[in-house]
């Protein structure tokens, strides 16, 4: 009988198209379908008896997979993301498939050459002459393993091909094809650390609830031993034969973190990071799907890894903004992971020193179980904060005399110092001292940043680069001065003040090349580099063995920023960077330069800590009808002609009038013009997720029509991280 099959054709901006088929393909299987004038890959997302479409349907060309390629639970996760984040399924399913599979590759692991003994080790030894010691060693090496051993592993262990050939001729081993399972460390497993009382309670509470959904919020300052808690819980999950998914922020995936995991478990681990090529990505995905790897560690997109025996999800640094995808499908990996854990009925751990206000609110509402680690695992003395009032001070390249003196004292004691400034480049503005002209971007409403290293002025929004102007185009004066500070400027100044000190700079310009970040971090980690100047790239997830001083130069940005999350992020950042300071034998010190030394929130943060600070912020969010008490979506639109954007946004605003939501705007985006595009936005506020979703869904049906022929590009951002 002919059936109607709903096929999601990737990147068509639609959920699915109807096709006919005489066989019933599995949900989640890939198919080839005729699409316009070509053949495209699609995923089966539904099978029905009839269609709403009144045109005659085309039929599926080929069914690629007998089994679902995307398992049922992930398919439902994609459906949820589609509905919650208001994105068509055809944009979400590609996230759940490695590129090779999106191109139609067969669903299987790459096969590799392997070897296995054909007889017992004892009889193998007898067949070989006594003096062939290397051959005997190879027999021992192979006899310790049950499965075929990849040739690559054998060679890595110091044996060569002629030894293999000799044993093959002696008929004690056979050659076969096997799959490439990631190597398990040869070194003995490291023993778990003896835990302190709080760690013990945390581990026990989680381990008691491994058989059903529950969200644990593990709050502990940096170095309080959260990772140790994950490790000891994971042991129990692995013992049950289950898999574990660990998500970390984009730059949290450090070699140190991986080393800690591989040293602790003798199970195959798959790591998803941005340096994987397509084949490696396919292999890692397939290994997880076939339950060969037990542990998957990765950034945001690893959320979509199929894991049939998934038993636990861990989200490290859950407050980190990199879990939210900022383009394409704007999903939040933490929130989607919560859905996945719920649907799979397994526990999930959210770890952070500085939980998001959303998560704090959720434990206050008893949706999450809070587990606290209040002490540093390695007893370090308490931190010493100092606010430096810069209102009346002379700043040299952004630094006060007092700050410089403290930096030098710490360096003289052979300690490490981190100077934090969240702006790359040399100076954010080039100004004519004579007439006040500023170097601006042609394409954006923004100033050009001076990059002295490359002798250029650069737009940080559209990437425009020009050579540094030699004179003012307005009044022809030659006195152009850099105003404000960036990482390069601070670095150069400190390098001239501390000529004998080894320094590194960490910002996006400096670490843009592959592995550059790793190399820089290794120099910090080994203690070779003593003075670090960096942006927030440096703020988290790294280990500084001798760090005793953190200097924050531009805290005020957080206070002046209009965005509703700016203060939360500033508090998180200050707490995170401060948490890096302090060694067992030296107290840590944090200097904060500010024009607002009496700011109540800054003082509360320093005196009472992040939690008290977060409670105050929550109160103000409640008063202002902002998340987590209210639900937001931003609708962003842009085009070369501003009128078209306005017309479009007014039309879709109109489409939502009958819904119980507040729609603010159209208003210019904080960066109102970028790359010659005029950008405007609507802010939609609702008292519940359901009303928000209903209004947006209704609006989307109108929006598609309203953009036809206008050149307006637009997107919806549900639960935005910022309003820019």
DSSP conformational letter for 459: -
Pairwise CA distance, residues 378 & 374, whole Å:
12
Q: Using CB under 6 A, which of 29, 82, 203, 226 touches ligand ADP? A: 226
Bridging pattern class, strands 429-432 and 480-483: antiparallel
Structure tokens at 267: 């199970």
Shortest separation between residue 541's beta carbon and ligand ADP, angstroms: 9
Q: Which listed option, ligand ADP, Zn ion, none, makes contact with residue 441 (CB within 5 to 8 Å by class)? A: Zn ion
Region of 99-107, 223-231, 443-451, 632-640 interacting with Zn ion (CB under 5 A): 443-451
Structure tokens at 637: 């639109």
For position 27 contacting Zn ion by CB under 5 A, the verdict is no
Structure tokens at 126: 């007898």
Q: Using CB under 6 A, which of 223, 571, 665, 720 touches ligand ADP? A: 223
Q: Using CB under 6 A, which of 228, 335, 507, 510 touches ligand ADP? A: 228
Q: Using CB under 6 A, which of 28, 225, 398, 425 touches ligand ADP? A: 225
For position 195 contacting Zn ion by CB under 5 A, the verdict is no
Nearer to Zn ion, 465 or 697 (CB): 465
Shortest separation between residue 223's beta carbon and ligand ADP, angstroms: 4
Residue 710 CA neighbour count, 13 Å, CB half: 22
Q: Using CB under 6 A, which of 23, 378, 401, 704 touches ligand ADP? A: 378
Nearer to ligand ADP, 244 or 377 (CB): 377
Pairwise CA distance, residues 293 & 100, whole Å:
20
Report residue 220: phi and psi, to 5°.
-160, 140
Q: Using CB under 6 A, which of 3, 51, 196, 687 touches ligand ADP? A: 196
Region of 26-34, 220-228, 417-425, 568-576 interacting with ligand ADP (CB under 6 A): 220-228
Burial of 713 (0-12, 13-18, 19+ CB in 10 A): middle
Between helix 255-264 and helix 226-239 the angle, nearest 10°, is: 40
DSSP conformational letter for 323: G
Pairwise CA distance, residues 306 & 84, whole Å:
21
Cβ-contact 3, 24 below 8 angstroms = yes
Shortest separation between residue 231's beta carbon and ligand ADP, angstroms: 8
| Interface with Zn ion: number of residues (CB under 5 A) | 15
Spell out the alpha helix ranges (H) of 498-590: 516-525, 556-560, 566-579
Nearer to ligand ADP, 257 or 480 (CB): 257
Sign of the Cα pseudo-torsion (465, 466, 468, 472, in order): negative
Nearer to ligand ADP, 304 or 544 (CB): 544
Pairwise CA distance, residues 88 & 256, whole Å:
38
Lay out the site mask for Zn ion across 407-436 (x = CB under 5 A, - = otherwise).
-------------------------x-xx-
Region of 123-131, 215-223, 384-392, 712-720 interacting with ligand ADP (CB under 6 A): 215-223
For position 355 contacting ligand ADP by CB under 6 A, the verdict is no
Shortest separation between residue 73's beta carbon and ligand ADP, angstroms: 29
Q: Using CB under 6 A, which of 155, 184, 193, 664 touches ligand ADP? A: 193
Structure tokens at 659: 């819904």
Q: Using CB under 6 A, which of 82, 135, 219, 227 touches ligand ADP? A: 227
Cβ-contact 316, 351 below 8 angstroms = yes
- Tell me if residue 182 falls in helix, strand or coil: coil
- Interface residues for Zn ion in 474-533 (CB under 5 A)? 474-475, 477
Q: Using CB under 6 A, which of 153, 199, 572, 604 touches ligand ADP? A: 199
Shortest separation between residue 576's beta carbon and ligand ADP, angstroms: 10
Q: What is the C-alpha end-to-end distance of the chain, expressed in Å?
A: 53
For position 664 contacting ligand ADP by CB under 6 A, the verdict is no
Nearer to ligand ADP, 29 or 371 (CB): 371
Measuring CA to CA, how many Å separate 597 from each of 398, 568, 591, 619, 660? 16, 18, 12, 22, 42
Rg (the chain; Cα; Å): 29
Locate the DSSP E strands across 16-63: 17-21, 30-35, 38-48, 62-63
- 62 CA to centre of own chain: 37
For position 457 contacting Zn ion by CB under 5 A, the verdict is no
Binding site for ligand ADP (CB under 6 A): 193-196, 199, 220, 222-228, 377-378
Q: Which residues bind Zn ion (CB under 5 A)?
A: 432, 434-435, 437, 441, 443-444, 459, 461-462, 464, 472, 474-475, 477
């Amino acid at each position: 009988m002919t059936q109607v099959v709903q096929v999601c054709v990737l990147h068509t901006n639609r959920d699915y198209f109807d096709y006919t088929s005489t066989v019933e393909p599995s949900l989640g299987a890939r198919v080839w379908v005729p699409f316009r004038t070509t053949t495209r890959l699609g995923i089966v997302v539904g099978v029905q008896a009839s269609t709403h479409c009144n045109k005659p349907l085309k039929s599926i060309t080929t069914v690629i997979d007998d089994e679902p390629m995307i398992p049922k639970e992930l398919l439902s996760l994609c459906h949820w993301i589609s509905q919650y984040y208001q994105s068509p399924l055809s944009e979400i399913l590609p996230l759940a498939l490695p590129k090779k599979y999106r191109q139609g590759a067969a669903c299987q692991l790459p096969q590799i050459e392997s070897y296995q003994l054909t007889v017992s080790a004892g009889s193998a030894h007898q067949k070989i002459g006594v003096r062939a010691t290397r051959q005997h060693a190879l027999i021992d090496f192979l006899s310790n393993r049950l499965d075929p051993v990849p040739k690559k592993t054998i060679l890595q262990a110091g044996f060569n091909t002629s030894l293999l050939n000799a044993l093959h001729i002696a008929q004690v081993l056979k050659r076969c094809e096997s799959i490439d399972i990631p190597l398990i460390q040869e070194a003995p497993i490291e023993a778990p650390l003896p835990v302190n009382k709080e760690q013990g309670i945390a581990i026990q509470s989680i381990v008691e609830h491994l058989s059903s959904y529950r969200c644990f919020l593990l709050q502990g300052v940096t170095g309080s031993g959260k990772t140790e808690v994950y490790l000891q819980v994971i042991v129990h999950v692995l013992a049950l034969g289950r898999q574990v998914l660990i998500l970390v922020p984009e730059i949290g995936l450090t070699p140190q973190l991986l080393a800690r995991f591989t040293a602790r478990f003798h199970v195959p681990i798959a790591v998803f990071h941005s340096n994987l090529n397509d084949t490696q990505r396919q292999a890692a995905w397939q290994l997880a799907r076939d339950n060969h790897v037990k542990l998957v560690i990765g950034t945001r997109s690893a959320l979509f890894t199929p894991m049939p025996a998934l038993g636990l999800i861990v989200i490290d640094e859950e407050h980190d903004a990199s879990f939210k995808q900022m383009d394409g499908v704007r999903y939040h990996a933490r929130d989607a992971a919560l859905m996945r854990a719920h649907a799979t009925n397994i526990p999930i751990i959210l770890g952070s020193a500085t939980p998001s206000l959303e998560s704090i609110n959720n434990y206050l509402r008893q949706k999450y179980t809070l587990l606290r680690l209040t002490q540093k695992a390695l007893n370090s003395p308490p931190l010493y904060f100092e606010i430096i009032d810069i209102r009346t001070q002379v700043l040299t390249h952004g630094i006060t005399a007092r700050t410089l003196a403290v930096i030098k004292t710490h360096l003289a004691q052979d300690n490490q110092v981190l100077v934090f400034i969240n702006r790359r480049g040399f100076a954010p503005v080039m100004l004519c001292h004579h007439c006040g002209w500023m170097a601006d971007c042609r394409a954006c409403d923004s100033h050009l940043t001076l990059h002295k290293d490359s002798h250029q002025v650069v737009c940080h929004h559209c990437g425009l680069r020009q050579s540094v102007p030699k004179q003012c185009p307005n009044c022809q004066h030659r006195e152009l001065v850099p105003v404000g500070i960036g990482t390069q400027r601070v670095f150069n100044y400190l390098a001239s003040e501390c000529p004998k000190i080894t320094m590194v700079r960490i910002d996006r310009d400096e670490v843009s090349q592959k592995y550059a970040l790793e190399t820089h971090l290794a120099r910090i980690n080994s203690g070779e580099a003593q003075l670090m100047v960096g942006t927030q790239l440096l703020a988290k997830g790294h280990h500084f063995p001798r760090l005793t001083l953190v200097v924050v130069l531009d805290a005020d940005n957080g206070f002046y920023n209009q965005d509703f999350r700016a203060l939360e992020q500033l508090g998180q950042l200050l707490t995170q960077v401060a948490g890096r300071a302090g060694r067992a034998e030296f107290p840590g010190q944090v200097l904060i330069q500010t024009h607002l030394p009496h700011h109540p929130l800054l003082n509360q943060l320093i005196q009472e800590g992040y939690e008290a600070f977060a409670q105050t912020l929550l109160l103000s969010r409640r008063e202002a009808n902002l998340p987590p008490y209210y639900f937001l979506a931003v609708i962003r639109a842009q085009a070369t002609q501003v009128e078209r954007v306005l017309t479009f946004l007014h039309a879709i605003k109109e489409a939502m009038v009958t819904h119980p939501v507040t729609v603010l705007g159209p208003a210019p985006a904080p960066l109102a013009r970028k790359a010659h595009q005029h950008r405007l936005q609507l802010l939609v506020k609702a008292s519940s997720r359901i009303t928000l979703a209903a209004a947006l869904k209704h609006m989307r049906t109108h929006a598609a029509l309203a953009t036809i022929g206008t050149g307006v590009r637009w997107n919806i951002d549900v639960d935005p991280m910022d309003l820019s």
